[in-house]
A and B are shown apart, each in its own frame.
Chain A
């Protein structure tokens, strides 16, 4: 028995070792397959922290809630992302005041702890102004609220760790480094549930530090701010010892405390304090470095939602001007006695920075992006190129191009096209909801879109043609309260177009697009009253409905059997009906190694087998950051985990491929993971895909595009994943393997497009070029590697430059053949190349001695209204003009070469010869003027090129006048040849005779074939 076990084990080890060897890292596999970002940036998204360069006011960094770090080098006109390879949830940014052009620090993990926040994974340092980053510890910090550097000695640094939001943690408090961030020591720690919310340093005396500690905790059903351990501490000995400075604060529990020092008068401190009573909440001021505090103001703007708005910023030059983050943001110019709202901008202001030279210029970080003000906060304008929108969900339709639908954190619901002439820009997006947006679904054939706002307060059935909407939310019956999740689930059926599902604690079904509803389930949740806390918030009540729990969260009707419906709940039930809702079975107990009550985030009912489904669980809201992905093939009776160790982050969504059942896509807190073998190995897809939380994935059936709804970087698309269907072990072992690709479509659309201005974001379009895709086992670095495209007769049509990467290479061919050779003039003449004919082409890659061959196909645009006959006529005239251009080019060459040959010959004949040739040339091409307003009148070359460009640049049958003009120009060329031949006859034989006589090299010119081949 033992022996058998051992043998089995050895065999198993062998297999797993084998599997290990074949593991291929995402960066090695995906090669040129790159994601593209389409935004939108129109509503931007939540920013947490702003950091201004201390000496150069063109440079500013912004940290987004889920969209990474953005840098401007132009005073905020535009920003660029600089942190894409790392966790995208940002807490704090600090520029080293002693080395501001190079050294920048980023603490990850959002610190405005709303229900939907992402997590961070530590502290990062850049030594090249933000281009690249290295992690410097704090992996388990989850949220870093402040980074402080001694302005006189950058080896002395402090980090404030807020820490875990959903559970206990010892990684909290104030940490100090004496070696520039290499090693750290915890110097202020309270307990496992109290983190550091703020840390500031006295700019004049850097031995003085102030820290704000905060007791806080979130659960899936509630939030708690405040406790006995919340406090402000002061240290006067660089963090060795700390003492509470509460003289003037009320007794009792405190909540989150915002803290600021006046840089121009550091004995002045401001604190916005959350207390047990509304009366004692609000702004406190100290004019004696924290020894005593006086309450100045408890207006709404100073007390609103402390967990979300605990930021105070003092003007760098004037200690009486301060700004408090808030729903609208508040500014005081009298030292905090009175405030007024900041000017109109997106609500929820989280941070402010003043320009270092001019306090009229300031920037805000809001739930809707970064804003600039030029008049001290009275008016604001949005930065227009930061697509950090936070999608909860994404869906697609089957239009051409297809549209993408989704809802956003605090930024409504939208749809826009996957591509658009000139790129996907702000004007392409359509608003179809209000409040926070979540799930958005398009009716299969009618102009109807369903969208919703938080907690299904409204569920809109919107008619895009009539621009009319109706609230079709399932109504409560008999005064029973329906519990809808903040992000309430909705689903459509592919079996019945008008069917519409929604989930509260019940599954609701409508067969008439939401006009009437039927409950088709009992309460499918645990209905645990302990998890139905309606008094969320802690010291300050925070009743938004965001914490409604024991609700249905995901609904999946089987695409193969409409009677099979899966439902997952936020309190951990996986329910299935096989009879359209008559009976339900909770199958979660059958799932191995899954903690009880773990949130069911997504169920994917398989398109290949009615009993197969995938379930993704997410336990992060109870402090469990593990990845849970399970598969069943028997309606939930048995389950296997398909999560592996190398997946980073808890998962929220899984998408099955429609063709290759083992090709799966998983969205986690840190991006996209792909398996081609049913989950045995997962590869992280990082090509132009930041480490952003992927909340939802949709695979577009017709195009095989993978569409990601990210919670921080908008919509990201991986175009055409079909090569991944073809990957298997035998391909991975080949030196070079071509993948089958869809036929390239020769695009006939106009070049008109974008109306966006210089500072606006424009999303990339997919390439419309023909794609040649191949896998290489090894990167090609030494020796020549080339690619040729040949027609079926073996003529070389084009020679694109091949990709050399290990992994997947994608080479594009623009369908162009080679352009004609044009006569040389004073000013260059632009001619287009003729397009290749639709049909099959052979691709040959030559790599050293080896050649690899593959066939590709290109097609005419199926939308085109041009007949084959008309198209053929266009091609025929194009080639006729092509030949005319080259004929003229050869004539030009003979003239130029002769003149050049005789350039030093001053004999009478030579001079006359050259003169006559020059006169002829001046009629062939323009020989004066420039390419702008001093342009010369066109000569034959210019007129011919223009005609050729018109014909070659279009696809339809040329008008009769084009034929007539083509004939006219060819006649002119012929006549010019006659003139040339006469001149040549007159001078050349005699000239050559003399040259031979003088023992000199006679004039010989290339034949036309030689000339064209050069």
Chain B
């Protein structure tokens, strides 16, 4: 009897611990399933997102390209003039200087941090196991007035001003439909809050069509999955 009792206690303990260990995995798995499925997500090689940012009555079209091998370009159109605000071609991270309007390479540290994102397309949640990221279910929390599951994800440490710092983000999944509505993360040592809504379907996958980062809203007019992408978009144009 005594043995039975302790076995029961052990079983209970195992169940309890596996629930909390599995929950983060289950939440992420449900999210991926609900938004198109792992297979469909794995077939995404690139995305093109078109949004408009409104600043003091000026509409600024923004186009963001992302590719599976980690390339990225953010191109804004300012009064008809296209400017690559930032781009990463797999080797160089670069920006356009707004004084000289010329391309400039970003610091080596920022470039190295950018390189760490190469394995995070389209989301660090998709391949977190292969990437060795730790995920942990933290509990429920009210975000945007809604009940959410809070999941912690720990990625490769980044360098911040010469010092290695942990890279920890929190995803808040709406408990009704398991899509993240808020992400709390850090960029260059600064806390960044991303709010997401207006999830809509594109080729069988669900994307948030409205996002705001640090209070600045972006509304997507179009998201194209696997667009034709010219490598020249990302390439550092040289001196």
Query: A residues engaging B (CB < 8 A)?
Result: 25, 27-29, 31, 56, 58, 73, 101-102, 127-129, 131-132, 134, 776, 778-786, 798-801, 804-807, 814, 816-819, 821-829, 831-834, 889, 893, 930-932, 934
Residues on the A chain within 8 Å of B100, using CB = 930-932, 934
B179 and A832 contacting across the interface, CB-CB below 8 Å: no
With A and B bound together, what is the CA distance between A826 and B78 in angstroms? 11
Chain B, range 128-181, C-beta contacts under 8 Å to A? 138, 142, 144-146, 152, 160, 163-166, 168, 170, 174, 176-177, 179, 181
Instruction: Name the one of B56, B170, B219 contacting A832, with C-beta atoms under 8 angstroms.
Output: B56
Residues on the B chain within 8 Å of A818, using CB = 57, 59
Other than the known A804-B144, A825-B81, what 12 A-B pairs have Cβ atoms closer than 8 Å? A27-B145, A73-B189, A779-B174, A779-B197, A780-B197, A780-B198, A781-B198, A822-B79, A822-B80, A833-B58, A930-B100, A931-B101
B57 and A819 contacting across the interface, CB-CB below 8 Å: yes
B57 and A817 contacting across the interface, CB-CB below 8 Å: yes
The stretch of B38-46, B62-70, B85-93, B209-217 in contact with A is B209-217
Instruction: Name the one of B56, B200, B219 contacting A814, with C-beta atoms under 8 angstroms.
Output: B56
A781 and B174 contacting across the interface, CB-CB below 8 Å: yes
Residues on the B chain within 8 Å of A805, using CB = 144-146
Instruction: Name the one of A25, A893, A930 contacting B142, with C-beta atoms under 8 angstroms.
Output: A25
B199 and A782 contacting across the interface, CB-CB below 8 Å: yes
A783 and B79 contacting across the interface, CB-CB below 8 Å: no
Q: How far is the CB of A403 from chain B (nearest CB, A)?
A: 28
> Which residue on B lies nearest to A930, using beta carbons?
B100
A799 and B80 contacting across the interface, CB-CB below 8 Å: no
Residues on the A chain within 8 Å of B138, using CB = 132, 134
Q: B99 in the interface, Cβ–Cβ < 8 Å?
A: yes
Q: Which of A800, A801, A806 has the most CB of B within 10 A?
A: A801
A801 and B78 contacting across the interface, CB-CB below 8 Å: no
Given contacts A73-B189, A833-B56, contact A828 B78 (CB under 8 A): yes
B165 and A101 contacting across the interface, CB-CB below 8 Å: yes
Residues on the B chain within 8 Å of A827, using CB = 101
With A and B bound together, what is the CA distance between A931 and B96 in angstroms? 12
Residues on the A chain within 8 Å of B98, using CB = 931
With A and B bound together, what is the CA distance between A934 and B101 in angstroms? 11
A829 and B79 contacting across the interface, CB-CB below 8 Å: yes
Q: B83 in the interface, Cβ–Cβ < 8 Å?
A: yes
B59 and A783 contacting across the interface, CB-CB below 8 Å: no
Q: How far is the CB of B196 from chain A (nearest CB, A)?
A: 8
Instruction: Name the one of A779, A814, A821 contacting B79, with C-beta atoms under 8 angstroms.
Output: A821
Residues on the B chain within 8 Å of A821, using CB = 79-80
**Interface pairs (8), CB distance under 8 Å:** A31-B145, A784-B209, A804-B144, A816-B56, A824-B79, A831-B58, A832-B57, A931-B100
Q: B20 in the interface, Cβ–Cβ < 8 Å?
A: no
> Which residue on A lies nearest to B220, using beta carbons?
A784
Q: How far is the CB of B230 from chain A (nearest CB, A)?
A: 17
Given contacts A128-B168, A781-B174, A806-B145, contact A58 B79 (CB under 8 A): no
Residues on the B chain within 8 Å of A799, using CB = 54
With A and B bound together, what is the CA distance between A873 and B134 in angstroms? 64
Instruction: Name the one of B78, B83, B195, B198 contacting A784, with C-beta atoms under 8 angstroms.
Output: B198
> Which residue on A lies nearest to B219, using beta carbons?
A801
> Which residue on A lies nearest to B195, using beta carbons?
A804
Q: Mark B190-203, 1 if CB is under 8 A from A, else 0.
A: 01000101111000
> Which residue on B lies nearest to A778, using beta carbons?
B146
Q: How far is the CB of B214 from chain A (nearest CB, A)?
A: 14
Q: Mark B204-229, 1 if CB is under 8 A from A, else 0.
A: 00100110100001010000000000
Q: How far is the CB of B31 from chain A (nearest CB, A)?
A: 12
> Which residue on B lies nearest to A780, using beta carbons?
B197
> Which residue on A lies nearest to B143, using beta carbons?
A27
Instruction: Name the one of A28, A132, A779, A801 contacting B217, with C-beta atoms under 8 angstroms.
Output: A801
Instruction: Name the one of B57, B101, B174, B197 contacting A785, with C-beta atoms under 8 angstroms.
Output: B197
Residues on the A chain within 8 Å of B170, using CB = 132
Q: Which of B101, B144, B145 has the most CB of A within 10 A?
A: B145
Q: How far is the CB of B185 from chain A (nearest CB, A)?
A: 10
Residues on the A chain within 8 Å of B59, using CB = 818-819
Q: How far is the CB of B51 from chain A (nearest CB, A)?
A: 11
A828 and B79 contacting across the interface, CB-CB below 8 Å: yes
A781 and B181 contacting across the interface, CB-CB below 8 Å: yes
Q: How far is the CB of B21 from chain A (nearest CB, A)?
A: 15
Residues on the A chain within 8 Å of B195, using CB = 804
With A and B bound together, what is the CA distance between A826 and B181 in angstroms? 40
With A and B bound together, what is the CA distance between A27 and B141 in angstroms? 10
> Which residue on A lies nearest to B145, using beta carbons?
A806
Q: How far is the CB of A399 from chain B (nearest CB, A)?
A: 30
Residues on the B chain within 8 Å of A822, using CB = 79-80
Q: Which of B99, B100, B146 has the most CB of A within 10 A?
A: B146
Residues on the A chain within 8 Å of B166, using CB = 101-102, 128-129
Given contacts A806-B145, A816-B56, contact A801 B199 (CB under 8 A): no
Given contacts A25-B142, A783-B200, A833-B56, contact A131 B168 (CB under 8 A): yes
Q: How far is the CB of A788 from chain B (nearest CB, A)?
A: 12
Going nearest first, the 8 A-B pairs with the smallest beta carbon separation are: A833-B57, A806-B145, A816-B57, A801-B217, A824-B80, A27-B142, A779-B146, A807-B145
With A and B bound together, what is the CA distance between A778 and B176 in angstroms? 11
A930 and B99 contacting across the interface, CB-CB below 8 Å: yes
> Which residue on B lies nearest to A777, using beta carbons?
B145
> Which residue on A lies nearest to B136, using beta carbons?
A127
Q: How far is the CB of B34 from chain A (nearest CB, A)?
A: 10
Residues on the B chain within 8 Å of A801, using CB = 54, 210, 212, 217, 219
Residues on the B chain within 8 Å of A134, using CB = 138
B198 and A56 contacting across the interface, CB-CB below 8 Å: no
With A and B bound together, what is the CA distance between A786 and B54 in angstroms? 14
Residues on the A chain within 8 Å of B209, using CB = 784
Q: Which of A29, A73, A131, A818 has the most CB of B within 10 A?
A: A131
With A and B bound together, what is the CA distance between A943 and B79 in angstroms? 16
A779 and B144 contacting across the interface, CB-CB below 8 Å: yes
Residues on the B chain within 8 Å of A934, using CB = 100
With A and B bound together, what is the CA distance between A73 and B57 in angstroms? 37
Residues on the B chain within 8 Å of A28, using CB = 142, 145-146
With A and B bound together, what is the CA distance between A161 and B160 in angstroms? 37
Q: How far is the CB of B56 from chain A (nearest CB, A)?
A: 6
With A and B bound together, what is the CA distance between A783 and B177 in angstroms? 13
Q: How far is the CB of B178 from chain A (nearest CB, A)?
A: 10
Residues on the A chain within 8 Å of B80, using CB = 821-824, 889, 893
Q: How far is the CB of A61 from chain B (nearest CB, A)?
A: 15
> Which residue on B lies nearest to A804, using beta carbons?
B197
Residues on the A chain within 8 Å of B56, using CB = 814, 816, 819, 832-833
> Which residue on A lies nearest to B76, using beta carbons?
A828
A781 and B58 contacting across the interface, CB-CB below 8 Å: no
Residues on the A chain within 8 Å of B181, using CB = 779, 781
With A and B bound together, what is the CA distance between A73 and B188 in angstroms? 12
Residues on the B chain within 8 Å of A776, using CB = 145
Instruction: Name the one of A780, A785, A889, A932 contacting B99, with C-beta atoms under 8 angstroms.
Output: A932
> Which residue on B lies nearest to A807, using beta carbons?
B145
> Which residue on A lies nearest to B101, using beta carbons?
A930
A781 and B54 contacting across the interface, CB-CB below 8 Å: no
Q: How far is the CB of B28 from chain A (nearest CB, A)?
A: 17
Residues on the A chain within 8 Å of B219, using CB = 786, 801
Q: How far is the CB of B74 from chain A (nearest CB, A)?
A: 16
Q: How far is the CB of A783 from chain B (nearest CB, A)?
A: 7
B57 and A781 contacting across the interface, CB-CB below 8 Å: no
Q: How far is the CB of B99 from chain A (nearest CB, A)?
A: 4
Q: How far is the CB of B23 from chain A (nearest CB, A)?
A: 15
Residues on the A chain within 8 Å of B177, using CB = 781-782
B163 and A781 contacting across the interface, CB-CB below 8 Å: no
Q: How far is the CB of B192 from chain A (nearest CB, A)?
A: 11
Q: How far is the CB of B191 from chain A (nearest CB, A)?
A: 7
With A and B bound together, what is the CA distance between A806 and B146 in angstroms? 6
A781 and B99 contacting across the interface, CB-CB below 8 Å: no
> Which residue on B lies nearest to A26, using beta carbons?
B142
Q: Which of A28, A818, A821, A828 has the most CB of B within 10 A?
A: A828
